[in-house]
Chain A
Amino acid sequence: MADMSQCEISHELDAIPTLLEAIVARYGFDFRDYAPASLRRRIAKMLEAEQLNDIPALQRRLLADAACMERFLLTLSVNTTSMFRDPGFHRAFREQVVPHLRTYPFVRIWHAGCSTGEEVYSTAIILAEEGLYSRCRIYATDMNEAVLAKAQAGVYPLSAIQEYTQHYIAAGGKNCFSDYYVARYDYALLQPALRQQVVFAPHNLVTDGSFNEFQMILCRNVLIYFNHSLQERVHRLLYSSLCPLGFLALGMRESMSFTPHESQYDSFDCRNKIYRRNPQVCTKSSSSELRWVG
């Protein structure tokens, strides 16, 4: 936390909307509908890192200095991720979802908000072990190009590999995890073949639209940073990007239950938060119509 206590920052909470308006006007990144509780914490963290005393000072620096905006983006996007995070989910993907994906001649998967890519490679490994990878394409997107570059490089600290190996085993991995990387110095380089079918691209869930139709979308621990109205908008985007009977994976503590979209999905695996789009054909004509589906 900042040297400045949360209390002092709270005095100027009113300055946050002005800051966010200025950022969207100058840079096009729109944080106005982020969840206030977590947004406040990360703005406080940014003030501390930049050694600034108040939000207006941060605003001045952000508007004047594009490099400061890059740092702000990194602070604001939470990049907590790991390979095979929540092994139970990855096991369910392998054992329950993959058999359905096999029925398609070609499979498109979207990792929405892929961060530094650990989960993208996890999915690729499972698909490869299930003999399905060569007829899949994974679209890995994030709003932040700096983390996307890390994802594309596929180089992770060696110190994390032990945990990833445990997760891989718990997730039902069929090989030896060390088959998938080469260790040099303090880093592990993942096999380049694992990204053969991956397209890394910038995409902002807040401001960009649908760009394809997918058999599966993974959007885990991304929507928790959004408020109700933005969650609803993004849910409309995800729904309109899924084929009928397509799968949607959310984070382990995210739920459809508190959204108006519950009726558009069947709960496929309740514990692991895997949902399946209902079979109705989506008209894709306008977002307002989508509300009425289901």
Chain B
Amino acid sequence: MYEIVVIGTSLGGLNALRTILGALPKTFSLPIVIAQHRSADVGDGLAEYLSGGSSLAVVEPSDKQPILPGSAYLAPADYHLLIEPRFFTLSTEAPVQFARPSIDALFESAADSYGSHVVGVVLTGASADGAKGAAAILQKGGLVVVQEPTTAESPTMPESAIEQGGCCVRPLAGIATFLTGLSPPSSTGGQS
């Protein structure tokens, strides 16, 4: 039933992402799209770092790159990453709440393109980015999972999302298992 997972995080996100990506099985078949706030000048090291601890390869997509099952994508620094049906669109429009990539922009575009088939995940962070996007996903009938604020390095972002109402709240250690339960078993036994 679910077709795509979108994850948003800011301060403290690297550890949280490593924990989740490291615990997902190789057979996890839903595409994962991540917006992690970061400085505009950083290089490509982050995708490599995240791939390092995971059985999934994490890549920074180019404009119009297709969204494939069994793949994980990281929003490039200094671009908004937007989701169209089955492919990405990039944008350099102004930062939203001082952030580019913006989590709200990612989540809202996912809700517009995938409707109720979206799973949003809001992790640790020190801003309210992601809350509006979480509301957009829920409004379309999608699902939002939020890291339990007490398990977050910075609780502001999870708390802001929880305030929207209707989110599932899970400790960091339980999020990968939760997502795995939503992923249909892969017919090809992993990445194709």
A residues near B (Cβ < 8 Å) are 1, 5-7, 10, 13, 35-38, 40-42, 78, 80, 221, 223-225, 228, 231, 251-255, 257-259
Q: Pick from B6-14, B78-86, B151-159, B182-190 the stretch touching chain A.
A: B78-86
B15: CB under 8 A from chain A? no
What chain A residues lie within 8 Å of B109 (beta carbons)? Answer: 37, 40-41
CB B97 to nearest CB in A, in angstroms, measures 9
Q: Is the CB of A1 within 8 A of B132?
A: yes
Given A1-B132, A5-B135, A41-B93, do A258 and B112 touch, yes or no (CB 8 Å)? no
**A37 and B132 alpha carbons, distance in the complex (Å):** 16
B72 proximal to A (CB < 8 A): no
Contact (Cβ within 8 A) B111 A37? no
Instruction: Give the Cβ gap from A215 to chain B, nearest Cβ, in Å.
Output: 25
Q: Mark B69-99, 1 if CB is under 8 A from A, else 0.
A: 0000000100110111001011111101000
Selected contact of B62 from candidates A5, A35, A254, CB within 8 Å: A254
CB–CB B65/A258 < 8 A:
yes
Say yes or no: is B118 at the interface (Cβ < 8 Å to chain A). no
Of A5, A13, A80, A224, the most chain B CB neighbours within 10 A belong to A224
A225 cross-chain contacts in B, Cβ below 8 A: 91
Cβ of A37 and Cβ of B83 under 8 Å apart?
yes
Residue of B nearest to A166 (CB): B41
Residues in chain A near residue B111, CB distance under 8 A: 6-7, 10
B139 interface contact, C-beta 8 A: yes
- Cross-chain contact A6 with B64 (CB below 8 angstroms): no
Q: Which residue in B83, B87, B112, B133 is a CB contact (below 8 Å) of A13?
A: B112
Known contacts A5-B132, A7-B135, A80-B93; decide if A37 and B113 are in contact (CB<8 Å).
Answer: yes
When distances are taken between beta carbons in the complex, the residues of chain A under 8 Å from B83 are 37
Complex Cα distance A7/B109, Å?
Answer: 10
User: A1, A41, A254: which contacts B63 (Cβ < 8 A)?
Assistant: A254
User: Are A41 and B92 interface neighbours, CB within 8 A?
Assistant: no
Chain A residue with the shortest CB-CB distance to B87: A258
A41 and B64 contacting across the interface, CB-CB below 8 Å: no
Give bound CA distance, A151 to B84, whole Å: 33
Closest 10 pairs between A and B when the two form their complex, measured CB to CB: A37-B82, A7-B139, A255-B62, A6-B108, A80-B92, A38-B91, A35-B89, A224-B63, A37-B109, A258-B64
Task: Tell me the bound Cα distance from A24 to B87 in angstroms.
Answer: 27
Minimum CB–CB distance from B90 to chain A (whole Å) comes to 5
Q: Which residues of A contact B90 (CB under 8 A)?
A: 224, 253-254
Collect the chain B residues with CB atoms within 8 Å of residue A252's CB: 76
Residues of A within 8 A of B105 (CB): 41
- Find out whether the CB atom of A6 lies under 8 angstroms from the CB atom of B63: no
Query: Is B140 close to A, CB under 8 A?
Result: yes
A-B contact pairs, 15 of them (CB 8 A): A10-B112, A10-B140, A37-B113, A38-B93, A41-B105, A78-B91, A224-B90, A224-B91, A231-B64, A251-B63, A253-B60, A254-B62, A255-B62, A258-B63, A259-B64
**Closest residue to A273 on the B side, CB-wise?**
B62
Do residues A37 and B112 form an inter-chain contact, with CB atoms below 8 A? Answer: yes
Report the nearest B residue to A11, measured CB to CB: B139
Q: A37, B89: Cβ atoms under 8 Å?
A: yes
Q: Complex: how many Å from CA A38 to CA B83?
A: 9
List of B residues within 8 angstroms of A80 by Cβ:
92-94
A205 to chain B, nearest CB (A): 15
B136 at the interface (CB under 8 A from A): yes
Task: Let me know if B104 is at the binding interface, CB within 8 A.
Answer: yes
Q: Would you give the shortest CB distance from A201 to chain B, in whole angstroms?
A: 23
